[in-house]
Structure 1
């Protein structure tokens, strides 16, 4: 099987924790061939096919020089058995354009995971709107007045941009409303940008849990990302400590309900963020934490994922 990963530059991978790397390693272990490209390597010409300038690579097992480049060639995406879209956010216009190119490749016969249309239809912050029973009180708005009213009602809130990742741009404002006006101006740029405000969930001290849902089924362990020191963010990129834990019965119930609805739409891999029992985000672009869970528990998440990819490809088109 030939697999193309549409991802960030290989030279930027931190392979000791990178989930895309763990997918590549498991695919190669099974004898599959691995290639990679950037979103900007995709192109289409009328009368032709969606193609990409791809790097055929072999993983070496060396921590420093972790891959060798076997060839660079332009290939039609339909000629791969699977195309895995693993580009990190931001979910900006260029990301959306890439999904349109990938959707055209699907029309030409490519198998793209996650589905390009599903990626567009489920922006990670806003996808929770479909599941109000599972979320903490939340406001999505451009209006500074609405943000102030929401804060006045809930007293302790989290404000965040819609296009961030890794905890970027997240602010907590307590009952004293200290710097609320400045934070609103910073995030919504005088009403030019939509932001999200959520009631603070105090259980974050126990960890912002990443639940991985693969082909509709939650992995049996989660990664609780625990804020350190005075930091309110548990994101690993923001210094949080990742501690693997068994999936609780309630979290399983939530994950199965969401997975049952979203997996049939072409979302083979979902990273659910849950604080306490409140869903805060539904990550579908490039969910992470495979290696942390596998190393701490022995449960092989990359194996579970590549098993699901192989099942997907075995289905009739």
Structure 2
């Protein structure tokens, strides 16, 4: 199997979920490539190509971190390859992590991914599904209301203030397009800079005002889904609790939260039973959910993480389960050819 992982840039990539999957694919003797969203090359009337980065011959990294070090070093192998010669293109770049000088990169992965998909390569998650869910917090609003906290998406200050009053003067404010806990505020009746916060957020785009959940004080839970079901290996689940640091309400690892093991609860399973079929229908192979008790507070279809955190707390990194699932899809594609759409194939088990 020839598989290429798309990230924001090879140079800036960290040793997280993507690298863990990439290393596992390499261990299973697949041809593995890494590329940034700026590494596509398209010439009219010619097949789309990519500038790929891979391990040079003779190098045998012992772990994902070493694998990435080699790819980011001077001895990494750079090669231009025709995209349609790949079996799989796995889109893993996070548009919300692009800085202000790289607006061109925000939609490049998904846009070129659609072309690669139309050339017959299996693209994960389905590139057209990613286009429809590109603003994942907006896609989140398509899900049934009873599994989510009350919310409002607007740029109107008066509407936000009305929401604030209606929810006992306590709410979460965050940008519609953002990740990693950046630009997220817990607002209560003691907040003196509410107007300024609203102005700063609206200057950058739409705001989500979300009902505050008291249970969030205990942290949230990241749930990883594969083919619309909770990632599982034997009796272990791809679920990790993220406990906020002292004086911090955000549960993002990047904001200092501590990862801990978490149980597979009935509340979590109920949420997955409700939204899993939609994710599967839409073509989302690998998805991350953020859950507080019995409520889903966020969804990530573009670049869900957590495998490295699960591994570091001694659960499992589950990379083998994910790569095995991709191997099956490649076999199905070889058997059925164009008889099965990419969207269907993306979530076939």
Give the TM-score, by structure 2 length: 0.84
2:94 pairs with 88, 97, 111, which one?
Answer: 88
Q: Residue 125 of structure 1 aligns to a residue in which SS?
A: helix
Partner deviation per Cα, 1:142-182 (whole Å, 9 max, x = no partner) = 11110110001111100001221110000111023421101
Greater mean alpha carbon deviation, residues 62-71 or residues 72-81 = 62-71
Q: In the alignment, which residue of structure 2 is the partner of 1:120?
A: 131
**Is 1:165 matched with 2:163?**
no
| Alpha-carbon distance in 2 for matches of 1:178, 1:255 | 39
| Alpha-carbon distance in 2 for matches of 1:32, 1:129 | 38
- Structure 2 residues without counterparts, runs of 5 or longer: 98-102, 232-236, 339-349
**Is 1:271 matched with 2:254?**
no
Q: In the alignment, which residue of structure 2 is the partner of 1:48?
A: 46
- Residue 300 of structure 1: CA displacement? 4.3
Q: In the alignment, which residue of structure 2 is the partner of 1:67?
A: 70
1:201 pairs with 210, 213, 235, which one?
Answer: 213
CA contact (8 A) 1:201 1:276 kept: no
- Structure 1 residues without counterparts, runs of 5 or longer: none
Residues 184 and 216 (structure 1), Cα distance of their counterparts in 2 relative to 1, 3 Å cut? same
Partner deviation per Cα, 1:84-115 (whole Å, 9 max, x = no partner) = 11112318663324312210111111111111
| Alpha-carbon distance in 1 for matches of 2:272, 2:49 | 36
**RMSD between aligned residues:** 1.9
| Alpha-carbon distance in 2 for matches of 1:179, 1:59 | 54
- Residue 303 of structure 1: CA displacement? 1.5
| Alpha-carbon distance in 2 for matches of 1:40, 1:168 | 24
CA contact (8 A) 1:59 1:67 kept: no
- Residue 70 of structure 1: CA displacement? 5.2
Q: In the alignment, which residue of structure 1 is the partner of 2:275?
A: 258
Q: In the alignment, which residue of structure 2 is the partner of 1:79?
A: 85
Q: Residue 35 of structure 1 aligns to a residue in which SS?
A: strand
| Alpha-carbon distance in 2 for matches of 1:94, 1:71 | 23
Partner deviation per Cα, 1:233-287 (whole Å, 9 max, x = no partner) = 1100001111121221110121232121112322100001111221111101110
**Which runs of at least 4 in structure 1 moved beyond 4 Å after TM superposition?**
62-65
| Alpha-carbon distance in 1 for matches of 2:82, 2:53 | 13
2:115 pairs with 99, 104, 108, which one?
Answer: 104
2:164 pairs with 132, 151, 156, which one?
Answer: 151
**Is 1:133 matched with 2:146?**
yes
**Is 1:215 matched with 2:218?**
no
| Alpha-carbon distance in 1 for matches of 2:9, 2:115 | 23
2:196 pairs with 171, 182, 194, which one?
Answer: 182
